[in-house]
Amino acid sequence: MSGSQNKLGVMPIGKLLLVMSVPMMISMFVQALYNIVDSIFVAQLSEDALTAVTLAFPIQNIMGAIGIGTGVGLNALVSRSLGRGDKDKADKAANVQIFLCLCYTALFIVIGAVFSRSFYEYQTDVRTIIDYGVEYLPVVCMFGAGVFFSQTFEKLLISTGNSTYSMICQISGALINIALDPLFIFGAGPFPAMGVKGAAVATVIGQASAAVIAISFNLRINRELCFDLRMIMPDKDTIISIYSVGIPSMVIVGLNAFMSFGMNQIFLKFSTTATAVYGIWIKTQSFGLMPVFGMNNGALAIYSYNFGSGRHDRVRQALSLALKVGICVTSAVTILYELIPGPIFSLFNASDTMLGIGIPAMRICAASMPFAACTVIFTSCFQALGYSRYSLLLNLCRQLFFQIPAAWLLSQTGVLGLVWLAPLISEAVTVCLSLLCNRRASKVLNP
């Protein structure tokens, strides 16, 4: 057994979760920082520019959901296969994923070229917002191959115990993006001022850079897997194994796109400013939850490897510790958001109207974060244990069945301030449901 894989099976859980998760926490923190910085730069152009980027978020989220979801399925399959000593199956899965990434790339080239304008025209009749959107969305769709390839090769590094290298890939891509944003948006020296389109160009360059670095690390450093283009054509068993975890993961991440689209339509009935505020909240929420998502990426390999090798006690220990860490981290973020909502919105060039809407909204929504952290952690463990249906159910409830209906009902009062209660209501009810699901799923660890 290799050193990196042996580490997953024998290293003390506390130290292992630290070693596996901290690099991912750091990398995802930097990525979340990029999302906020990107919006800060765009907001300097105008509020309509920020709204246009906010309305594009569902499509970008779907791209990320496909990349992340398939990557999670690949991560679980490779870790489980190596845990059982089946290297051939792990190799086949890694190579088939390359074929899947090429298919995803072709799909979004078509979407970006054909449907970008109609996507915006369906949501709003504000011409400025539509024009900004048509500059932004085709670029991120048609040149977004880096989303899929970076997620694939980063997850392969994680699944073989090389999470530090995955961190380097993600941080590098995000930092390149942050550095290029002001250059392409506002122009400097040889760089032309491209406005909103410049933000899209910086985004795809950052994603492509992360993909190239991740591929390089896998070819040079990842000794657990063999890459051979002759093995990229899919077979039934490999596809089923990847998508059995990957599709629920895609849906889980992609639900955020449908939730954002639905919530955008509700807030647009009040004003475009309310929609922009919601976009800022989504990015700041993601920023606060990124440590939890990063920890989950590391923990998933721990759950999968030890469940595959029959070490159920280590799975239970890892889940318990992850919940404690997640609650502590998000509670600290909640306190921060409650204390300084005004300065946060000021970063986005907020008008007095936006501040009037955004400050109370931030304080209400921030209270939902510890509940969200618990649900996110449970769903990751359920996936590793083969209970992906529970993960899917919880995320459907959290983002569609509870939040959008709650927001719609509250919006019927005509009071915008009440609509911001929807995320808190949704997260609180869903975490209760996750505890019930955990009682059932934990039986597999206590036969």
**Average pLDDT rounded to a whole number, residues 243-266:** 83
Q: Is 441 exposed, middle or buried (0-12, 13-18, 19+ CB in 10 A)?
A: buried
Q: How far apart are CA 384 and CA 299, in angstroms?
A: 10
Q: Is the pLDDT of residue 407 over 60?
A: yes
Record the tokens describing residue 364, joined without a space.
């209400």
Q: What percent of the chain has pLDDT over 90?
A: 49
- Which single residue is written with the structure tokens 């920023």? 287
Q: pLDDT tens for residues 414-428?
A: 999 999 999 999 999
Q: Is the pLDDT of residue 100 over 60?
A: yes
Instruction: State residue 6's pLDDT score.
Output: 59
**Average pLDDT rounded to a whole number, residues 19-34:** 76
Q: How far apart are CA 31 and CA 383, in angstroms?
A: 24
**Average pLDDT rounded to a whole number, residues 171-186:** 92
Q: pLDDT tens for residues 348-367?
A: 999 999 999 999 999 999 99
CB 129 within 8 A of CB 272: yes
Distance from the Cα of residue 299 to its chain's centroid: 16
Q: How far apart are CA 58 and CA 100, in angstroms?
A: 21
Q: How far apart are CA 444 and CA 384, in angstroms?
A: 11
Q: Is the pLDDT of residue 440 over 50?
A: yes
Instruction: State residue 3's pLDDT score.
Output: 47
Q: pLDDT tens for residues 219-228?
A: 888 777 888 8
CB 370 within 8 A of CB 424: no
Angle between helices 47-83 and 196-220 (to 10 degrees): 10
Q: pLDDT tens for residues 294-304?
A: 888 788 888 88
- Reduce the DSSP state of residue 310 to 3 states and report it: coil
Q: Greater confidence, 300 or 51? A: 51
Residues whose CB is less than 8 angstroms from the CB of residue 430 and which lie 6 or more positions away in sequence, other chains included? 371, 375, 394, 397, 398, 402
Q: What is the mean pLDDT of the chain?
A: 88
Q: pLDDT tens for residues 322-342?
A: 999 999 999 999 999 999 999
Looking at residue 37, what DSSP letter applies?
A: H
Record the tokens describing residue 43, joined without a space.
């907001």
Which range of residues forms the domain containing residue 328? Answer: 3-445
Q: Is the pLDDT of residue 404 over 90?
A: yes
Residues whose CB is less than 8 angstroms from the CB of residue 34 and which lie 6 or more positions away in sequence, other chains included? 174, 175, 177, 178, 206
Q: How far apart are CA 116 and CA 184, in angstroms?
A: 21
CB 194 within 8 A of CB 185: yes
Query: Can you name the residues that pair with 191 across neighbouring β-strands?
Result: 188
Task: Find, among 274, 319, 268, 307, the residue nearest to 125 by Cα.
Answer: 268
Q: Is the pLDDT of residue 7 over 90?
A: no
Instruction: State residue 395's pLDDT score.
Output: 84
CB 263 within 8 A of CB 411: no
Instruction: State residue 447's pLDDT score.
Output: 54
Instruction: State residue 1's pLDDT score.
Output: 45
Q: What is the domain count for the chain?
A: 1
Q: pLDDT tens for residues 257-291?
A: 888 899 999 999 999 999 999 999 998 998 899 88
**Average pLDDT rounded to a whole number, residues 76-97:** 82
**Average pLDDT rounded to a whole number, residues 315-323:** 90
